[in-house]
């Protein structure tokens, strides 16, 4: 049975901003009280971007348009016109290039506006504003939003100013997909299944360390078994996040495990999840013998902070840490950076003014 976690909308927004390689969305809200960052607030940021694009003028391009007509107008589509011709109907199908705003970027914008108008979590005034913006572009289609549709987007010098709007639209689409799986959402909190949160957090860790520090090279590495014999049936070994020091003498292997409980219980005794420990330890044993390596398991905080360090040798150590995803973003940021310096056992004791 899958378990669920409550995560503040503001922090989920930050996680997804990094995943979509747009951390500046988080940093642009540095001066805003974190308690004000709600679902409705994020939607209003999207509507603000849409309004700016409307004032600037929506991007247009030549698109191919087909229409049935009683006179030649453009290029004749013979294959589609033949049934009418054979039946002697005064109608043919023609295609022509038309300069129109009905392009993919605007279609995604309109579809997102449509999704907002139907979202029961949002305030009525927000949904009404979204509806009015949507109605102002009747010439633009609104296809169903999918992850594949977002992957089709490309930018040019003429369309780069759409990037911020599209990235917020991606995050709102992720919110929609996740909220449909769990009903316990509100303006302030998201309720996520552990599998979804684990997947999100793995991707976030990778992008966070890739963008927020320069000391380590970030990768997800595939390790080879140090065993002789037929390796056909051996399972693959792939790390979530490997951070290799640029001097090449140090490595950190990090693994996120989002279980409701940090400990397993066996005959009344608590212990860390054995398969997680075995897996990480195996990764460490398959590293270069000349490199100092630290393995870090990250669990969600569930009422008890855990910061344990276990040494195998002077070269190899393992750590188990908890991360409170309901903490301020400033504290989460500080803790993750502290992991690289071996200082993960300190949360900020003071409130944060913003997201920096």
Give the chain as a 3 state SS string.
CCCEEEEEHHHHHHHHHHHCCCCHHHHCCCCCCHHHCCHHHHHHHHHHHHHHHHHHCCCCEEEEEEEEECCCCCEECHHHHHHHHHCCCCCEEEEEEEEECCCHHHHHHHHHHHHHHCCCCCCHHHHHHHHHHHHCCCCCCCCCCCHHHHHCCCCCCCCHHHHHHHHHHHHHHHHHHHHHHCCCCCCCEEEEEHHHHHHHHHHHHHHHHHHHCCCEEEECCEECCCCCCCCCCCCCEECCEEEEECCCCEEEEEEECCCCCCEEEECCEEEECHHHHHHHHHHHHCCCCCCEEEEEEEEECCCCCCEEEEECCCCEEEEEEEECCCCCHHHHHHHHHHHHCCCCCCCCCCCCCCCC
Residue at a domain's end among 72, 100, 128: 100
Enclosing domain of residue 179: 39-59+102-187
With respect to residue 263, please indicate whether it lies within any of the assigned structural domains.
yes
Looking at the structure, tell me whether residues 274 and 160 fall in a common domain: no
Looking at the structure, tell me whether residues 296 and 328 fall in a common domain: yes
pLDDT, the chain, mean: 84
In angstroms, what is the C-alpha Rg of the chain? 26
The pLDDT, as a whole number, for residue 270 is 73
Looking at the structure, tell me whether residues 330 and 207 fall in a common domain: yes
Looking at the structure, tell me whether residues 261 and 136 fall in a common domain: no
Looking at the structure, tell me whether residues 250 and 284 fall in a common domain: yes
Q: Nearest 10 degrees: CA dihedral of 336, 260, 203, 340?
A: 20
Q: Match 């917020």 to its residue by tokens.
A: 168
Looking at the structure, tell me whether residues 69 and 114 fall in a common domain: no
Residue at a domain's end among 141, 165, 187: 187
With respect to residue 2, please indicate whether it lies within any of the assigned structural domains.
no
Q: Regarding predicted confidence, which is higher, 198 or 184?
A: 198
Count: domains in the chain: 3
Which pairing describes strands 241-245 and 269-272: parallel, antiparallel, or unpaired?
Answer: unpaired
Is the model's pLDDT at 11 over the cut of 70? yes
Looking at the structure, tell me whether residues 250 and 133 fall in a common domain: no
The pLDDT, as a whole number, for residue 351 is 37
With respect to residue 9, please indicate whether it lies within any of the assigned structural domains.
no
Looking at the structure, tell me whether residues 239 and 283 fall in a common domain: yes
Q: Indicate the pLDDT class of residue 182, thresholds 50, 70 and 90.
A: low
With respect to residue 8, please indicate whether it lies within any of the assigned structural domains.
no
With respect to residue 279, please indicate whether it lies within any of the assigned structural domains.
yes
With respect to residue 290, please indicate whether it lies within any of the assigned structural domains.
yes
Taking only the tens place, the pLDDT of each residue in 218-264 is 999 999 998 889 988 888 899 999 999 998 889 999 998 877 667 77
The pLDDT, as a whole number, for residue 260 is 66
Tell me, what CATH number does 211's domain have? 3.40.1350
Looking at the structure, tell me whether residues 77 and 124 fall in a common domain: no
Looking at the structure, tell me whether residues 219 and 267 fall in a common domain: yes
Is the model's pLDDT at 153 over the cut of 50? yes
With respect to residue 307, please indicate whether it lies within any of the assigned structural domains.
yes
> Of the segments 47-51, 340-344, 350-354, which one has the largest average pLDDT value?
47-51
The pLDDT, as a whole number, for residue 347 is 41
Average pLDDT score over residue span 166-190: 76
d(CA 127, CA 119) in angstroms, rounded, equals 8
With respect to residue 173, please indicate whether it lies within any of the assigned structural domains.
yes
Residue at a domain's end among 139, 168, 187: 187
The pLDDT, as a whole number, for residue 336 is 93
Average pLDDT score over residue span 123-151: 94
Average pLDDT score over residue span 36-61: 91
The pLDDT, as a whole number, for residue 27 is 79
Q: Indicate the pLDDT class of residue 1, thresholds 50, 70 and 90.
A: very low
Q: Nearest 10 degrees: CA dihedral of 342, 346, 350, 354?
A: 40
Taking only the tens place, the pLDDT of each residue in 269-317 is 777 788 888 999 999 999 988 899 999 999 888 777 888 899 999 999 9
Percentage of the residues of the chain whose pLDDT score is greater than 90: 46
Is the model's pLDDT at 348 over the cut of 50? no
Looking at the structure, tell me whether residues 53 and 179 fall in a common domain: yes
The pLDDT, as a whole number, for residue 343 is 59
Looking at the structure, tell me whether residues 207 and 334 fall in a common domain: yes
Average pLDDT score over residue span 9-38: 82
């Amino acid at each position: 049975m899958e378990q669920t976690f409550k995560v503040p909308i503001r922090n989920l927004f930050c996680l997804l901003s990094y995943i979509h390689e747009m951390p500046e969305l988080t940093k642009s809200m540095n001066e805003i009280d974190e308690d004000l960052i709600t679902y409705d607030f994020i939607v209003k940021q999207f509507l603000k971007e849409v309004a700016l694009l409307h004032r600037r003028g929506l991007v247009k391009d030549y698109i191919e348009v087909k229409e049935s007509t009683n006179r030649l107008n453009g290029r004749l589509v013979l294959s589609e016109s033949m049934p009418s011709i054979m039946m002697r109907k005064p109608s043919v199908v023609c295609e022509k290039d038309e300069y129109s705003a009905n392009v993919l970027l605007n279609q995604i914008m309109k579809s997102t506006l449509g999704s907002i108008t139907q979202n029961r979590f949002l305030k009525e005034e927000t949904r009404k504003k979204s509806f009015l913006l949507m109605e102002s572009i009747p010439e633009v289609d609104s296809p169903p939003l999918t992850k594949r549709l977002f992957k089709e987007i490309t930018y040019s010098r003429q369309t780069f100013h759409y990037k911020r709007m599209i990235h917020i639209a991606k995050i709102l689409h992720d919110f929609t997909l996740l909220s449909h799986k769990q009903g316990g959402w509100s303006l302030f909190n998201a309720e996520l299944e552990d599998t979804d949160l684990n997947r999100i957090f793995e991707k976030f860790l990778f992008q966070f360390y890739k963008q927020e520090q320069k000391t380590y090279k970030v990768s997800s590495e595939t390790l080879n078994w140090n065993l002789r014999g037929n390796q056909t049936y051996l399972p693959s070994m792939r790390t979530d996040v490997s951070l290799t020091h640029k001097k090449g003498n140090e490595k950190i292997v990090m693994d996120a495990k989002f279980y409701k409980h940090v400990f397993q219980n066996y005959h009344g005794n608590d212990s860390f999840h054995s398969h997680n420990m075995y897996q990480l330890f195996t990764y460490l044993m398959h590293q270069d013998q000349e490199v100092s390596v630290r393995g870090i398991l990250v669990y969600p905080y569930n009422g008890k902070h855990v910061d344990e360090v276990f040494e195998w040798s002077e070269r190899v150590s393992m750590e188990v840490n908890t991360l409170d995803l309901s903490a301020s973003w400033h504290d989460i940021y500080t803790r993750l950076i502290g992991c690289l310096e071996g200082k993960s056992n300190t949360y900020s004791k003071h409130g944060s003014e913003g997201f920096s």
